[in-house]
Structure formats: C-alpha cells, structure tokens
Amino acid sequence: FPAAVIGHSIGEYAAAQIAGIISLPDAIRLTLKRGELTSRVPAGGIVAVGLSPEELRPYWNENLSLAAINGQRQCVVSGAASEIAAFHEQLQAKSIASKQIRASHPVHSSLLDPILPEFRIHVEQAELQTPQIPFMSTVLGDWLKADVPFDGSYWIRNLRETVQFHLAFNRLVQSGHELFIDMGPGASLSRHSRQFKSKSNLRSPIAFAALPGSDHGQGDRLRLLKTLGKLWTCGVPIDWSGLHEDKPPQRTPLPPYPFDRKRYWLDAVATKEQVQNADYNQPDAGGSSVDRPAGNEGGRSPIVIVSAEAALDRQIAAVYRDILGLDDVALTDRFFDLGGDSLSALSVIDRIEQLTGERLAVSLLLEHQTPKELAIALSKTHGSARPRALVPIQTGGSRAPLFCPHPFGGHVLLYTPLAKALGAEQPLFGLQARGLNGEAKPHLSIAEMASEYVEAIKSVQPHGPYQLVGLSMGGSIAWEMACQLRDAGDEIAILGLLDAKALHKHEEVASGRYHRLLGNNPIPDWLSEQAIIMSVLFPALKKHWRKLKSIKRECHVTALRDFGTQAGNIPDMSNTQLNNILTVAEANRIALRDYTPRPNDSRSVLFAAKRGLRTSSNQPNGDLGWKQFARSLEIHEVPGNHYTMIAPPHVTVLARKLNSFLNPKE
C-alpha cells in the first residue's frame, strides 16, 4: 500500500477508495451520478491562467469561479461559456499567459449550485469510513484526520469548491514524502509536482506517470514497465515475481566486463546534395539485415548512420528532459516553449559542454532552441561555434528590429519574455558581453562595448533609425551606442532605459550600486566582493549569506554556489562557467564605474520599476540621473522591481508601454 494518497478533483474518489474511505461500488456510483448531474448544467468553459489568485483580482468578476489552484502562479477559472470567452479575451489582450481547456461543463463553479441538493441525497447513501491510509485532501489543503468521522458533505465540497492542489501537495512534500506515482492518464500532476521543494534535501520530489497519455501509441504494459524500472532505480523494492506470474521471465546473458564509455564525434561524410540523392535514408536503423535494391551512384555515397541512442539530438533531448523535469521531449520542441528560462539555459549549456567537450555560448541555445536544430549547429561547427555579440532572440516579423544590450551579468536571455510579450511581428536581438564562455577577455569600458555592438547591429540593420532598449547597465550601454550612432550621422528612433541609473564617473559601485540592487539589504562587512556580485546576479542567494560567516572569504563563492544549487536558487554550473560569469561581471563593474554618460539629444524614455532603483534610492519620482544628460526624457512607471519588471506577469505592461514608442512610422 502507498504511504499516502492525494487526488485532484474527481480523482479524489480513487484516492479515497485506496485509503479505505469509500467502497469501490460506491465510488463508481457517485462518480457516474456526478457526471450525470453535471451534464444537466448549462454549457460552460474553463481557462488555465499563469497568474496567482492575488494577481487575478484585477480581472475578476462575480460570474467567474476559481476552479483550481495548481501552482503558485497556476490557476484554473471556470464559468459560463460567454463569461469565460470574454475573460480569456481580456487576458489575451494584455498578453497574459492563458489557455482555454476543452470541457463541456464548468466544474467547481457557481453554475453547479442547482444540482448540489440532489447530489447530496446520493452522497448520503454511501457508507463512508475513516481513512486507513493517510489521505491528503485537496478540498481542505491538509490531512484528513483519522480520528474524525468522514462526513458525506465532503463530496459536495469536492464538486463545488476550489481544488487546493498547490496547498495540499506542498503540505505533502513538507511532510517528508518525496516519491510519487501519478495514476491519471498522461503526466499532468507529475509536471505540477516539480514546482515544490522537499524540506530534507531541498530538491523537487520525484514523480512518475504510471498510465499512458498521448504517448505516441505507447501501451499500458510498456508504460507500467518503464515506471517500475524507474522506481527500482530509486530504491523502491519491486515484487517482480508478482509482476511476471503469468509469464516467467527469461534470463539475459550480460557481458562479463564493463563497457569502456568513450564518446566519439562522427564526421558527416556525405554532402547535403548526396544525402538528397540517396535512395534510402534510415537514420534510426537497427542492427537487422534487410534485403533491398542498391541505390543509384550518388545514393551509394557513404552516409553515416547513427543509432537513436548515440545521436546527439537524442542526447540533447535527454538533457532538456532532465533539466526541465519533463517526461518526454520531442526533437522539435523549443527549449523556452517547454518552460526553460535564463537559469535553466545555463545548466543545459553546461551539460552539453560536458557531452561534447567543447566550450559553447549560451546564445547558441537562443539561436537553435530545438534538440534537432542545436545538434545540427554543433555538428556543422564541431562545437566550436564562436559566440557573437549579436544574439537573435526573435527574428520573425516585418517590423524594425529592437536591439537590447546586456545588463550587469552579461547574458541576454532575460529579454526572452519581453520578445514574446511584444509579439511575433517584433524582431528582437540581444547584445551579449564578450568573455562569457572564456573565449576572450571582457571589455573594460562601455565605450569599447558600444563600439563593438554598433558594428554588430549594422550587420542586421545597416542604417537607422535604430531602436535601442537596455535593462540596468544595458541602459548605459544603449546610451553610449546612441551617442556613437549619432556621431556617425545615424538616427535613433527610441532610446529606452529599463530601470537604469546614470552613474557619474568613479561613483562607488560596490557600496552604493550593490546596496540598491539588493533592495537596500545591509551588506555584511565580512562578505567577500565576489559573493556580493553573485547575489546581484542571483538575488535569491541573499538568504544564504548567514551560512557564510564561519567560512573563509576565499571559499565564499564556491559555498554560495553550492547552497544556491541545492536550494534551486541558481542553475547547476561548473566552476569554469561560474568563473567566466564572475569575470565578466567584475569587468562590467569597472566599466560602469568609469563611465559618465555624454549629452544625448535622442528621444529617451525611462521605464522605471515601481519597486525598483527609484525606491531603493529614496527618489520615488526621480529620473535616476538621466535628465541632466538628455535633451528630453519621458518617464513611465511599470509594475515590479528591478528584476521582475521584465518577467511575467509585469513584462506585459512594459511591452504595452514600450510598443507605443516602437516603429513610429507604422
């Protein structure tokens, strides 16, 4: 028997039956009656929204019901079809992540109220017991107490009230449960489970889907065997004799020696033209022999055939699965569409570097997001793709491109949500710092950076007017780029500053700038400079500072990295990768310290975060030092802080305001 059970909505009937609360006949009878009564309710709709309950309030009305809370920012809303359609349209207009779910009736909504009295009659006929196995209730968000009689009205609440899955599952994990089997079709609850961290080891719980969903025709038995195999590797004892009682297993001879695991690159010996001329292309061929006619002369040119296990694209897909905690990743799945972000991208690149033995730029993942595309890019270059300053984040669309220089950390992945929020018609290119993968020394002056970046953007757009927008330090770089472009006679359409502060030359960055970026948190005098820089790059690391007090200063970085990795605050990075990031950040600190903005007559717009640098600088209505250098400066406030203003959900507001300044000739 399981150590505990939990069910989601109608799934609680199955969980209750396993826990001994309700008999199987009664569970089936109530499930069927629930479906019958629900079918009498007028047609409704359901929409999943990427917001928390608090963030939903501005869009709420009395005709909507909160059907389920599946995560910290994963809510499900139900109601009448017309109300849900209008609600979904409102969210789409504000670029808020939402998706309508195919459902015939609005479960967990006020529309069910008329059927509740009749359902109560049927519920009261069921014989209910106290749980024999710990039962985590998604109605209560807590354990059902074994010494309290089970009230039949629970099933009324189960049908009508909000499913508190997030609260209940978190309580389950914090109680020490870390291994779960998802018994529903597919793996929806398994995916939800990965957002939690256990108390003991600060890692996500392990969840396996036991039943097939849309598994490309995968059968029940195959899925069951895979799940049992995974459980066995996690140390769960399996009753193999019980599994194979209908058919005795066959012994399989194993080699008497271990395999010498070495990786080899296979050179592509056939040109594209030869591949196209080949009569037979079988990339996943096994070891069997097949009688077939010989191909033509061109088709008999040698073509390397790699098995599925050895193919690089499969290995990359496996890395995606592991880092993102997914069950299945197709070779055509895009990394950021799967839920990847700037932190997980660093982990992916680090793992692929281990696979290939090559240094890779994070920008490579932005340019080639699917396992198939990334494998092709790596095979063409044998992994030696040189990182460029210009990083294509979104290349589709017919509008004039938007160029975004990197902030303090040097990476540009954080502009990905902005690109999505601006829409597919708006191309967006990031400008990445030199030295992130150790291929060259980073620039030590903003003027040098701007000069290289101006040359880079001209490869995409030879002439103005240019659109430049930069976050934090990226604002200062964009400012200098605008000055250099103006000096060369080019026009600037917009110079956008995202919570960027104009520093005067030799303004003390370490004590002042860091203090503000860290939300005015007191910085201990015993904390090493590099540990402070790490905390600026990854703000969640602040919570681990006290653990460093008894550790030598020269060990602060390694210790902070380990604490952050264990807690899931930062990606799993190699020492080399971390050292490169810190080297670039230190160079950027020097460049920012030594830079004074030049007077600029470009159209300048400051987008100040509501809880950003103006707040931490005690200048709630200030211009962050730009007005003295600008001929004209517009200031617009956007929600969020210095870091979250460019991430969902606040990025939708930023994108809407920024869009009004982009492409003025449209």
Model pLDDT for residues 373-425, shown as the tens digit of each residue: 888 888 765 434 434 788 888 887 889 999 999 999 898 988 999 998 999 88
Model pLDDT for residues 321-357, shown as the tens digit of each residue: 878 777 678 888 888 877 777 667 877 887 887 777 6
Model pLDDT for residues 499-531, shown as the tens digit of each residue: 999 875 545 444 445 545 555 557 888 888 888
Residue 274 lies in a domain: no
Residue 430 lies in a domain: yes
The answer on 157 and 73 residing in a single domain is yes
The answer on 497 and 621 residing in a single domain is yes
Of 11-25, 264-278, 520-534, 615-629, which has the strongest mean pLDDT? 11-25
CA-CA-CA-CA dihedral for 412, 415, 420, 423, to nearest 10 = -100
Q: Tell me the C-alpha distance between 339 and 2, whole Å.
A: 31
Q: Tell me the C-alpha distance between 398 and 424, whole Å.
A: 9
The answer on 133 and 82 residing in a single domain is yes
User: With bands split at pLDDT 50, 70 and 90, how would you rate the model's confidence at 285?
Assistant: very low
Residue 618 lies in a domain: yes
CATH of the domain at 406: 3.40.50.1820
Percent of the chain with pLDDT over 70: 78
The answer on 321 and 399 residing in a single domain is no
Least confident of 29-43, 190-204, 351-365, 487-501: 190-204
Residue-level pLDDT at 656: 94
The answer on 451 and 345 residing in a single domain is no
The answer on 465 and 335 residing in a single domain is no
Q: How many CA atoms lie within 13 A of 465 on its CB side?
A: 14
CATH of the domain at 134: 3.40.366.10
The answer on 399 and 375 residing in a single domain is no
Please report the sign of the dihedral spanned by the C-alpha atoms of residue 193, residue 196, residue 201, residue 203. positive
Query: 49 - beta bridge partners?
Result: 75, 98
The answer on 120 and 56 residing in a single domain is yes
> Is residue 480 a contact partner of residue 487, using CB atoms and an 8 Å limit?
no
| Last residue in a domain, options 154, 177, 200 | 177
Of residues 393 and 270, more confidently modeled:
393
Q: Tell me the C-alpha distance between 666 and 663, whole Å.
A: 6
Q: What is the residue range of 451's domain?
A: 388-504+595-665
Closest Cα partner for 285 from 310, 313, 317?
A: 310
Least confident of 204-208, 300-304, 371-375: 300-304
Give residue 150's identity as a one-letter amino acid code. F
Residue 566 lies in a domain: no
The answer on 490 and 354 residing in a single domain is no
**pTM of the full structure:** 0.49
Percent of the chain with pLDDT over 90: 30
| Last residue in a domain, options 343, 362, 385 | 385
Residue 262 pLDDT > 50: no
DSSP 163: B
Average pLDDT of the chain, as a whole number = 79
For residue 5, report the phi and psi dihedrals to the nearest 5 degrees. Answer: -135, 155
The answer on 23 and 147 residing in a single domain is yes
Residue 19 lies in a domain: yes
Q: Tell me the C-alpha distance between 350 and 160, whole Å.
A: 47
Number of domains forming the structure of the chain:
3
> Is residue 279 a contact partner of residue 296, using CB atoms and an 8 Å limit?
yes
Of residues 218 and 284, more confidently modeled:
218
Average of pLDDT values for 104-132?
90
The answer on 492 and 409 residing in a single domain is yes
Least confident of 94-108, 112-126, 269-283, 539-553: 269-283
| Last residue in a domain, options 134, 155, 177 | 177
User: With bands split at pLDDT 50, 70 and 90, how would you rate the model's confidence at 491?
Assistant: very high
Please report the sign of the dihedral spanned by the C-alpha atoms of residue 639, residue 643, residue 646, residue 651. negative
Residue 557 lies in a domain: no
Model pLDDT for residues 621-662, shown as the tens digit of each residue: 789 989 999 988 999 999 998 888 998 889 999 999 999 999
Q: Tell me the C-alpha distance between 20 and 407, whole Å.
A: 57
The answer on 627 and 491 residing in a single domain is yes
Closest Cα partner for 458 from 443, 447, 468?
A: 468
Residue 337 lies in a domain: yes
